[in-house]
Structure 1
Amino acid sequence: MESSGKKVIVGLTGRIGSGVTAFLLKKQGFQVIGVSIINHSMDTFKNSSTPPKCYISKLGEIENFCKFLGIPFYATDGKSEFEDKVLDPFTANRLTARANTTCFNCTSLRIQVLYEKMKKLNADFISTGHFCKVHKNLNSDNFSVHANNDVDSDQSFLLAGIPEIYLKHLILPLGELRANEVDTIAKKFNLPLKPSLSDGKFCYREPAEYESILKNRVPKSLIKEGQVHNVDNDMIQGEHKGILHHFITEKNLKFNGVNQADQNIQVVNYQFEKSTIEIGSDKHLTFKGCQLVELSLSSGLDRSKPMNCFIKNKYSHQYVACMIFFKNNASAYLEFESPIYPIIEGEKVVLFDKNTRNAKVIGLGRIGQRGEFELIDRAEEYKTKNEANEEIKRAPVFKF
């Protein structure tokens, strides 16, 4: 790629990944412009030990880093868009105990904001510190996201579903690097960046991380107390003060009557109408297949027949082999090679074409119904039904 004279907008978060991204692009000859997107008020998580990864607590430190690199810096207020596209869906999902998709929604929003800044500042590209790659197909001119070669560093799943209008302008300098190699670059060149606090988990998982946000967004009338039902032994084992304080897969439960020594007991479901939390073992979240809805797929895929692919979700870095059966209305059925835990309704699932280096993202969907499904051959079913009807209509023959 010709870099001389080209302008690139780099999304800066104050963490090592985005800082090293800006540094590498400048070394390559790009005209780098740093942009930080403010999604929360500065004091929202000031006392939190686990703030979300998009939270910027000290804007001055990012500005000083840009001065160190000798690049322009801008900050943009993204709080209203963040409320609309990230926090509103998150609040609705928390009230109904559906899956937490904030990291997907946040990534998509940040890419959009950077793209709009790129146009306003007459730049050519945008860039982030994600550990994955964007490739262009020279035959079709289509752009696609590909996995980092290091499975533990890979973040390609977060960019699944990003429209090509953004991908064609997106540069990802960390796509070929491991996380520890990025740390080494920061130390070698004495970049004024603090070590990343990222633990590899997704944001807003624990109640302590999000209760300060939701307390002003959810009316008390919607925080319903209720019973805790153990679906393994069909017993009521205490009461809860609202699902907002809990999440699916939560363990180390403090409900009365729950055996604290049993690490397998966890929150497995929430009955919204009855305000009942259901707890039980892994088997209630372990499935051999699931329905995918709101499915978006790469162009050029043959959807006329089942296809082998691999999936990832935010709970594991490992690829899982599966077969996808395409259906109508942007839906499909996934059959896993072996049962997977946890499969949570509403969770995002990313599809890949292979489980080796440079795997290509080929789709993104949301989990609908879970369980094993029986495939029905409608043509054969119709034929069998007609033959049965003919047998009934056929007049009996009597011999005298």
Structure 2
Amino acid sequence: MSKKVVLGMSGGVDSSVAAYLLQKQGYEVIGVTMKVWEDSKNYEQNQGGCCSLFSVEDARRVAYKLKIPFYVMDFKDEFKDKIIGKFIKEYVKGRTPNPCIDCNKYIKFHSFLNRALNLGADYMATGHYARIEKEDGRYIIKKGIDNKKDQSYVLYNFTQHQLKHTLLPCGGYTKDNIRKIAKTIGLEVYDKKDSEEICFIPDNNHGKFIEKEIKKDIKAGYFINKQGKVLGKHKGIVYYTIGQRKGLGISTGKPLYVLKINPKTNQIVLGENEELFKNQLIAKDLNFIPFEKLSKSMEVDIKIRYTSKISRGIIIPIKNNAVIVKLFEDERAITKGQSVVFYSNDMLIGGGVIHKVIDSVKNE
């Protein structure tokens, strides 16, 4: 008897081909689109973001083509509470969250997995580019073989139970190969553009979104330099993030960037680009995959954001499930609220949320 897999289908090419690959491996596949956000404009403008009606219909057509059952599951209430609620609170605190990581942690690989198992499925699956393997009796995550599309960064919160019941069939393929497979088997989504924006903010204006959601005006404040001199007025701290240059509306004869956001004083410190480079931080809310807890210092590869290059450094355990991260080279715009993720070659060690950025200490 075939084992049953509930596959999260976004309407994109990755999850669509994942359904086909799972079929080829002999699984009984059930396609499900997780409805987490309602925005009719996506459909009207034909944007087709992962939460739009347009993408639901794409997923439904793929399921029909592959002759698999297809359903839509409603997670909107939980998404609004766990993801959007946190997103707003973090920006109000002057931090920059990563809602995709939180969605994976709370919705896809927790609530959705639990629903799948309760329906009698053996596994859930997604189209993420990463690989799940088992070594020495423990499940691990490795980077997808396509370095340009590897998505292991957003998967560091996995537990052993979740890994045991999760399949990632696209991790052993390149994106080009996935598109070729889709075209070969006649899936119309073979050339569909990847969704890059936050699903509930298709115009990427997070400040405008937050102001609308909290239903009150965001309080304006002042831009200052490191000496406290007022440089101009800002429209509210939720509109800004560390390293930002565009949209400041400040003219001083030289480029200025956001160095620090202070929610207590409602001030934003501006300075020059070279002042953004740091090499130490403290991370909390940690999760490790090859082992339960970091017991001693460890030299690792490090990513301070999804799009950043790999850096080298040391992670040092401290109290309250936190680590000090010491980078061997300065990194630009290390940002509170973002995730820092650790690797050993192609194996995902774990990660956590950046809690504090420490002024650079000269590396000996």
Q: 2:328 matched to which residue of 1?
A: 337
* 1:250 to 2:247 alignment: no
Q: What pairs up with 1:59-138 in 2 under 5 angstroms?
A: 59-108=56-105, 109-137=107-135
Shift of 1:337: 1.3
Shift of 1:47: 6.3
Q: 2:223 matched to which residue of 1?
A: 228
Percent identity (aligned): 24
Once residues 364 and 71 of structure 1 are traced to their aligned partners in structure 2, the CA distance between those partners, rounded to angstroms, is 36
Q: 2:232 matched to which residue of 1?
A: 238
Rg comparison, structure with higher value:
1
Once residues 280 and 231 of structure 2 are traced to their aligned partners in structure 1, the CA distance between those partners, rounded to angstroms, is 30
Shift of 1:58: 4.0
Q: What pairs up with 1:9-48 in 2 under 5 angstroms?
A: 9-43=6-40, 45-46=42-43
Residues 198, 204 of structure 2: 8 Å contact kept: no
Q: What pairs up with 1:78-227 in 2 under 5 angstroms?
A: 78-108=75-105, 109-137=107-135, 139-140=136-137, 142-193=138-189, 195-198=191-194, 208-210=204-206, 213-220=209-216, 223-227=218-222
Q: 2:340 matched to which residue of 1?
A: 349
Q: What pairs up with 1:243-282 in 2 under 5 angstroms?
A: 243-259=237-253, 262=254, 264-282=255-273
Residues 207, 246 of structure 1: 8 Å contact kept: no
Q: 2:309 matched to which residue of 1?
A: 318
Once residues 104 and 171 of structure 2 are traced to their aligned partners in structure 1, the CA distance between those partners, rounded to angstroms, is 16
User: What are the Cα deviations for residues 59-111 of structure 1, in whole angstroms up to 9, with x where unaligned?
Assistant: 23321221111000010111001011110110011212202220100122112
Once residues 360 and 188 of structure 1 are traced to their aligned partners in structure 2, the CA distance between those partners, rounded to angstroms, is 32
Decide which moves more: 78-87 or 116-125: 116-125
TM-score computed with the length of structure 2 as normaliser: 0.89
Unaligned runs of 5+ in 1: 375-400
Residues 21, 173 of structure 1: 8 Å contact kept: yes
Residues 98, 338 of structure 2: 8 Å contact kept: yes
TM-score computed with the length of structure 1 as normaliser: 0.82
User: What are the Cα deviations for residues 132-179 of structure 1, in whole angstroms up to 9, with x where unaligned?
Assistant: 011112x32x21211112221110111111112111011111111111
Shift of 1:330: 0.6
Counterpart of 1:7 (choices 4, 8, 17) is 4
Amino acid at match of 1:314: R
Once residues 125 and 37 of structure 1 are traced to their aligned partners in structure 2, the CA distance between those partners, rounded to angstroms, is 16
Q: Provide the secondary structure at the position in 1 that maps to 2:336.
A: coil
Q: Provide the secondary structure at the position in 2 that maps to 1:287.
A: strand
Once residues 350 and 110 of structure 1 are traced to their aligned partners in structure 2, the CA distance between those partners, rounded to angstroms, is 19
Q: Provide the secondary structure at the position in 1 that maps to 2:213.
A: coil
Residues 303, 326 of structure 1: 8 Å contact kept: yes
Amino acid at match of 2:225: N
Q: Provide the secondary structure at the position in 1 that maps to 2:146.
A: coil
User: What are the Cα deviations for residues 10-52 of structure 1, in whole angstroms up to 9, with x where unaligned?
Assistant: 1000111111101111122211100000111141544679786
Shift of 1:121: 2.4
Q: Provide the secondary structure at the position in 1 that maps to 2:169.
A: coil
User: What are the Cα deviations for residues 317-366 of structure 1, in whole angstroms up to 9, with x where unaligned?
Assistant: 53211111111221111111111112111221111122xxxx21112111
Change over 3 Å in CA distance of 1:235–1:347 after alignment to 2? same
Change over 3 Å in CA distance of 1:73–1:312 after alignment to 2? same
Once residues 304 and 121 of structure 1 are traced to their aligned partners in structure 2, the CA distance between those partners, rounded to angstroms, is 38
Residues 285, 344 of structure 1: 8 Å contact kept: no
Shift of 1:207: 6.9
Amino acid at match of 2:354: I
Q: Provide the secondary structure at the position in 1 that maps to 2:214.
A: coil
Q: 1:394 matched to which residue of 2?
A: none
Q: 2:287 matched to which residue of 1?
A: 296
